Amino acid sequence: MDAGKYPEALTHAENALSIRETVLGGTHPDVASCLNLVGKLYWLKGELAHAEPLYQRALAIYETSLGKNHPDVALSLNRLANLYRQKGLYDRAEPLYQRALAIREASLGKNHPDVALSLNSLAILYSEQGLYARAEPLYLRALAIREASLGKNHPDLAAFLNNLAILYYEQGLYGRAEPLYQRVLAIYETSLGKSHPLVAVSLNNLANLYSEQGLYDRAELLHQRALAIYETSLGKNHPDVATSLHNLANLYRQKGLYDRAEPLYQRALAIREASLGKNHPDVALSLNSLAILYSEQGLYARAEPLYLRALAIREASLSKNHPFVAASLNNLANLYSLQGLYNRAEPLHRRALAIREASLGKNHPDLATSLNNLAILYYEQGLYDRAEPLYQRALAIREASLGKNHPDVAASLHNLASLYADQGLYNRAEPLFRRSLSLRETSLGNNHPELAKSLNEFGKLRLAQHRLSDALLLFSRSFSISERRLRHEALDFSESRLSSFLSHLRNDGQWIYSLLRAHPQNARVQRFALSAALLLKGRSVSETATISRTLYFSLELEDRETFERLRGLRTQLASLSFSGPGALSPKVYQQRLQSLTQEGDELEAELAKTSAPFRALSSLPSPDNIINRVSSLLPRGSALVEFIAYNDSPLLRKPGTFSAKNLSHLRYLALVLFPDASIRSVDLGPAFPIDQAASRLRDALADKDASFQTASQQLYRSIFGPLRPLLGSTRRIFLSTDGQLSLVPFSALHDGHAFLLDSFDFSYLTSGRELLPRPLDSAPSSSVFVFADPDFSSSFSPAPSGSLPSSPSSDALKRFFSLPPSHLDRSAWVPLPGSRLEAHAIQRLLPQAQLFLGPDASKQRLLNLSTPGVLHLATHGFFLGNSSSSPSESRGLAFVDSLGGAPPPQQEPLLNSGLVLAGALSTASSSPLAPEASLVTALELAGLNLWGTQLVVLSACDTGRGEVHLGQGVYPGSVTPGTEIGLVS
């Protein structure tokens, strides 16, 4: 049985029961003992319905043969009560526990070890119901009895210490739980040895404690040690191994490391299904956690069947009214709500609410969670009359059970305030927003995402009250918090987390430009909008991840270790912020946040002293200073023009409407910054006609249409004509474009008299932020490398190093290179003899230039280069676009297809473009390594260390092509982070 082979053990136990019944008769105490064993095995298999009648029959035998007050009757009562507790039938379990306790106290004395067992069981019952005040004195009394009878270092005492630690852990009293967990671990290691399974249990508990506090590095080591002990002592397929895998997967999910969590969840699920059967409650736990993992990644279609199966198992094995069933219903309902399937979500929320109310009582925090979730569902549908009493009741429960200063109370206040604000009841909303804001500042600190949410919503209330100045102060604080978070998130290599957060920031920031449209002449609004544009524009997932990759590879070994520690701290901080306080007290939660922030800031300062790339990242000006910094770098007589494409939507809901009715429309605006830091703005109108005009001009230029001047004038009237009065006599323009305007040559615009080329000097930037200087550790490199005329038909020959350089693993890269070779049409990759002449011409101008021609113009040599001063790449480029979308659907996406029947566009933008180098044709049919050995994706090029490189030139076909992303500019055929100047053709 200890090996987890429950079916085999059950067969032997049932045979023993049959023999005893035959020999001793059906009412002998030894038959009752055997019934208890069979019942326990059914329980371990998750078949509680089979276990219950066996326990009941055993109890009846003991009462008849031994009398109702015998200690063995108490033992049988305790077992049956444990079964009912496991099924969530607390009302049936409690009188059995109490009767067992009374029998033991009367027959054995109040200080007998078995009395301690009864006290412990009753305390567990109360703890599971959230009745912590009733549980603690029972645990303490049981512990005192055990300590007196067994001594302070007995393994059985450790079990009681562990239960008391769990009680404190569940209340968020981590300072009281930790020394108990550590004492339990020490007892087990001393008395049982460091490789005993109970040591692994203790390690797991301590790891969970650290994980809840965001101490993920400490938790991970303990989880890994526990897993190793379980696998060694119990075998790799034991249910306890599954538990350890599940806990480690939870840790990785909390850190956003989904790729590491998923296989662990899947292995734990497989072990549980094989050892416990496919309908065991622990199988439901695995299914539920795997579904949460998918849901957090937006993979709703994969999450739903897992939630449904977990729910079915729990209903069958635990009863339909168990709190775990309520948890499953709640998770499934939230999944439907995320997809807007309110009609499917509502009955599930209602049923979860009813179960929790019946099983946990009317004042349990979990009941408040159900009330809150149902209220949110009604709120999102505009059913305010139905949402309000639920919000109010959830607030009352949380204040009573958690205290009036708990973060969950702040969330309830915030939700209720938003409800009133949307109905125009501003006088009722304001005091609630104020109290919620104050609580979050006190309990969560000044840089928490939930505080940013409160600031934003309170700011919108101030707008509705026509108090623009007050609103701007709140909006600015909120934006500063988000910007601070973004800088910290940039240090985490988890692209999925970066993608999610950046998408949230971009979507959440659209209203800033709507605010400018509503108040176009307000200087403070102009400044706020330009600050946001300078900091957010061009902050693509790929660019942010590139900063981390470039930074990582530029550090010395000692600094790299420091960076890893910093990255871990930032990940912990983000995860703890996202997950909320949980069971932590507000004071402990804020202390933990402050500790992580301070530790990270100290490491950041340490790294900034030695690393130029890190200084560039950490020295980015604050939202308050970015405009002054950029304007001070503008040459006299010049101006920066930031074009912005944004989704314009109402800043405030009309009372009585809900979000689905607040439709947005794509528009353009332009912000102009002068060297004296003065700002001008102009609304350019709806994006659709502007994008059409831009498309017509590009087509006319590409087709060498003689009538292109008409299209040029039309686009001029749309985008530059309204801007020209703001520029005055300024003729040197730094242009930061957006949307389809990123593909427009502004010099080719015609004002009806002449081309702008004749009047203006244009320089193009992804963002005005690029004007900021980049610190360097040393003088720029003087080396010059030229790659030209690759021999696409040459055989693959490795570089001197023998292999491609190592780089951070990327699932996106693996998916790209796993595409069948037949998906790539290489007919366009013709020889480029002219580029060889180009290379020799460069060498005549720069004699130190090192040429890589023919077969030497290879991917291996490129990726193994030391930091160049000048890098010239003359070869074919490729770009994978999407031609299926209509202009109205593409929202500014440009399509270029240089590969004919190429693979579909990749989710990672930097896998949609790249360079073609030597060996691309000859290895196409003879080597499975062809794509990896000869195609260089922009994602790989982003890993080149180009800090200190003065010039990169991409010369030849399609190397300057790219895809437009709103607020991000063009992702060109190659990315050159750290380069001072980049030229493409």
pLDDT in tens, 84-111: 887 778 888 999 999 999 999 999 999 9
Return the minimum-mean-pLDDT range out of 45-59, 133-147, 853-867, 894-908. Answer: 894-908
pLDDT at 522 over 90: yes
Cβ–Cβ under 8 Å, residues 876 and 958: yes
pLDDT at 856 over 70: yes
Residue 8's pLDDT is 76
**Alpha-carbon span 708 to 700, nearest angstrom:** 5
Cβ–Cβ under 8 Å, residues 736 and 640: yes
473's enclosing H/E stretch is helix 468-489
- Residue 619 has, within 13 A of its CA and on its CB side, a CA count of 15
Strands 913-916 and 877-879: antiparallel
Across-strand partners of 913? 879
Cβ–Cβ under 8 Å, residues 972 and 913: yes
**Alpha-carbon span 50 to 14, nearest angstrom:** 13
Cβ–Cβ under 8 Å, residues 272 and 239: yes
Across-strand partners of 760? none
Across-strand partners of 646? 667
DSSP 623: T
What is the token pair recorded at 220?
A: 């991970």
**Alpha-carbon span 120 to 160, nearest angstrom:** 7
Q: State residue 805 phi and psi, 5-degree precision.
A: -65, 150
pLDDT tens-digit readout, 767-822 = 898 888 865 555 677 899 999 999 988 875 544 444 444 444 455 555 555 554 44
Whether the CA torsion 491, 497, 498, 504 is positive or negative: it is negative
Q: Where are the alpha helices (DSSP H) in 769-832?
A: 811-817
Q: With H, G, I as helix, E, B as strand and everything else as coil, classify residue 772.
A: coil
- Classify each residue of 690-717 as buried b or exposed e, where b means 16 or more C-beta atoms within 10 Å of its C-beta: bbbbbbbbbebeeeeeeebbebbbbbbe
Interhelix angle 323-338/300-318, nearest 10 degrees: 160
Q: Would you give the distance in Å from CA 545 to the centre of its chain?
A: 14
The residue to which tokens 């444990």 are assigned: 82
**Alpha-carbon span 803 to 814, nearest angstrom:** 17
Burial (CB count <10 Å: 0-12, 13-18, 19+), residue 811 = exposed
Burial (CB count <10 Å: 0-12, 13-18, 19+), residue 656 = exposed
**Alpha-carbon span 885 to 891, nearest angstrom:** 9
719 versus 765: the higher-pLDDT residue is: 719
Cβ–Cβ under 8 Å, residues 799 and 917: no
In the structure, what pLDDT confidence band is assigned to residue 885 with cuts at 50, 70 and 90?
Answer: very low
| Angle, CA 86 vertex, CA 82 and CA 91 arms, to 5° | 75
Residue 891's pLDDT is 27
**Alpha-carbon span 580 to 596, nearest angstrom:** 14
Distances (CA, A) of 88 to 126, 325, 326: 12, 10, 11
Q: Give the Cβ contact number of residue 354 at 10 Å.
A: 14
**Alpha-carbon span 564 to 937, nearest angstrom:** 26
543 versus 788: the higher-pLDDT residue is: 788
- Classify each residue of 590-602 as buried b or exposed e, where b means 16 or more C-beta atoms within 10 Å of its C-beta: bebbebbbebbee
Helices (H) and strands (E) in the chain, counts: 39, 15
Q: Give residue limits of the domains in the chain.
A: 490-555+611-656+663-771, 777-796+826-880+909-984
Cβ–Cβ under 8 Å, residues 666 and 645: yes
Residue 958's pLDDT is 47
Long-range contacts of 18-27 (CB under 8 A, 24+ apart): 26/61, 27/61, 27/64, 27/65
Across-strand partners of 682? 670
**Alpha-carbon span 595 to 305, nearest angstrom:** 40
763's enclosing H/E stretch is strand 761-765
Tell me which residue of 453, 440, 363, 441 sits closest to 409, measured CA to CA: 440
**Alpha-carbon span 669 to 512, nearest angstrom:** 12
In the structure, what pLDDT confidence band is assigned to residue 60 with cuts at 50, 70 and 90?
Answer: confident
User: Dihedral of the CA atoms 243, 247, 250, 251 (nearest 10)?
Assistant: -160
What mean pLDDT is predicted for residues 506-533? 90
**Alpha-carbon span 503 to 506, nearest angstrom:** 5
Burial (CB count <10 Å: 0-12, 13-18, 19+), residue 796 = buried
Residue 896's pLDDT is 32
Residue 929's pLDDT is 46
**Alpha-carbon span 686 to 487, nearest angstrom:** 32
Residue 591's pLDDT is 75
**Alpha-carbon span 132 to 123, nearest angstrom:** 8
Q: Which conformational region is residue 516 in: left (phi greater than 0), alpha (psi within -120 to 50 degrees), or beta?
A: alpha
In the structure, what pLDDT confidence band is assigned to residue 549 with cuts at 50, 70 and 90?
Answer: low
Across-strand partners of 935? 916
Residue 366's pLDDT is 86
Cβ–Cβ under 8 Å, residues 930 and 919: yes
Cβ–Cβ under 8 Å, residues 545 and 495: yes
Tell me which residue of 870, 976, 873 sits closest to 918, measured CA to CA: 873
Residues 6 or more apart from 245 whose CB is under 8 A from it? Answer: 227, 264, 265, 267, 268, 271
In the structure, what pLDDT confidence band is assigned to residue 864 with cuts at 50, 70 and 90?
Answer: confident
**Alpha-carbon span 294 to 269, nearest angstrom:** 15
Residue 142's pLDDT is 92
pLDDT at 644 over 80: yes
Cβ–Cβ under 8 Å, residues 288 and 250: no
Cβ–Cβ under 8 Å, residues 54 and 16: no
Whether the CA torsion 295, 297, 298, 300 is positive or negative: it is negative
Burial (CB count <10 Å: 0-12, 13-18, 19+), residue 562 = middle
* Helix, strand, coil percentages, rounded to 5, for the chain: 65, 10, 30
36's enclosing H/E stretch is helix 29-44
pLDDT at 619 over 70: no
**Percentage with pLDDT > 70 across the chain:** 78
SS3 assignment for 926-939:
CCCCHHHHHEEEHH
pLDDT at 650 over 60: yes
**Of the segments 67-76, 613-622, 821-830, which one has the largest average pLDDT value?**
67-76
Residue 58's pLDDT is 84
Topology of domain 777-796+826-880+909-984, CATH: Rossmann fold (3.40.50)
Strands 951-955 and 981-984: parallel
pLDDT at 545 over 60: no
**Alpha-carbon span 727 to 736, nearest angstrom:** 15
Average pLDDT, the chain: 81
User: Dihedral of the CA atoms 292, 312, 121, 104 (nearest 10)?
Assistant: -170
Across-strand partners of 640? 673, 734
In the structure, what pLDDT confidence band is assigned to residue 497 with cuts at 50, 70 and 90?
Answer: low
In the structure, what pLDDT confidence band is assigned to residue 376 with cuts at 50, 70 and 90?
Answer: very high
Q: With H, G, I as helix, E, B as strand and everything else as coil, classify residue 899.
A: coil
What mean pLDDT is predicted for residues 868-878? 88
Tell me which residue of 459, 485, 622, 627 sits closest to 544, measured CA to CA: 485
**Alpha-carbon span 181 to 186, nearest angstrom:** 9
DSSP 716: I
In the structure, what pLDDT confidence band is assigned to residue 256 with cuts at 50, 70 and 90?
Answer: low
713 versus 364: the higher-pLDDT residue is: 713
Q: Which conformational region is residue 172 in: left (phi greater than 0), alpha (psi within -120 to 50 degrees), or beta?
A: left
Return the minimum-mean-pLDDT range out of 66-75, 159-168, 493-502, 914-923. Answer: 493-502
